[in-house]
Amino acid sequence: QCQLSGLWRNEQDSLMEISAVRSNGEFHGKYLTRVTLSGGCARLSPLKGSQQQPAEGEWPTFTFTVHWDKFSNATTAFVGQCFVDAGGKETLTTMWLLREAVGSLEEDWKATR
């Protein structure tokens, strides 16, 4: 069984801490990013998410959003799945979309990464 709750580190050395997953799949936590749009130092931001309750023998899928608190006018949505290898190591795989605020509809094309 793969457990989302706990401390996670990604390839860019950012940290994510997820609280206990509730019985309905909801969770919250904190994301400490080492990568910023402004190139500044690491910042702590809140995250909220939901885990799909897996069927027997399946690995859970999940989604969460991070509101980049106080240093960026952007929000990122992540979707992914949790896996456990033969040695018992848990790994989260994710895809993400970052939406940055822009000043006009004409600039909308460059707002999502």
Domain membership flag for residue 34: yes
**Dihedrals φ, ψ of 74, to 5°?**
-145, 160
pLDDT score of 37? 53
Domain membership flag for residue 97: yes
The number of distinct structural domains making up the chain is 1
Domain membership flag for residue 17: yes
Amino acid at 41: C
User: pLDDT digits over 12-30, tens only?
Assistant: 888 899 998 999 999 999 9
Domain membership flag for residue 10: yes
Residue whose entry in the numeric block shows the structure tokens 């033969």 = 86
User: pLDDT digits over 52-95, tens only?
Assistant: 987 777 888 999 999 886 667 888 999 999 999 999 899 999 99
Domain membership flag for residue 1: no
Higher pLDDT, 113 or 1: 113
Residue 34: is its pLDDT beyond 90?
Answer: no
pLDDT score of 65? 95
pTM of the model: 0.83
Expressed as residue numbers, the domain containing 75 is: 6-110
CATH code (residue 58)? 2.40.128.30
Q: SS3 for 50-88, per residue?
A: EECCCCCCCCCEEEEEEECCCCCCEEEEEEEEEEECCCC
Q: Decide: 105 and 23 in contact? Cβ < 8 Å.
A: no
Q: Decide: 15 and 29 in contact? Cβ < 8 Å.
A: no
In angstroms, the first-to-last Cα distance of the chain is 32
Mean pLDDT of 86-108: 92
Higher pLDDT, 111 or 39: 111
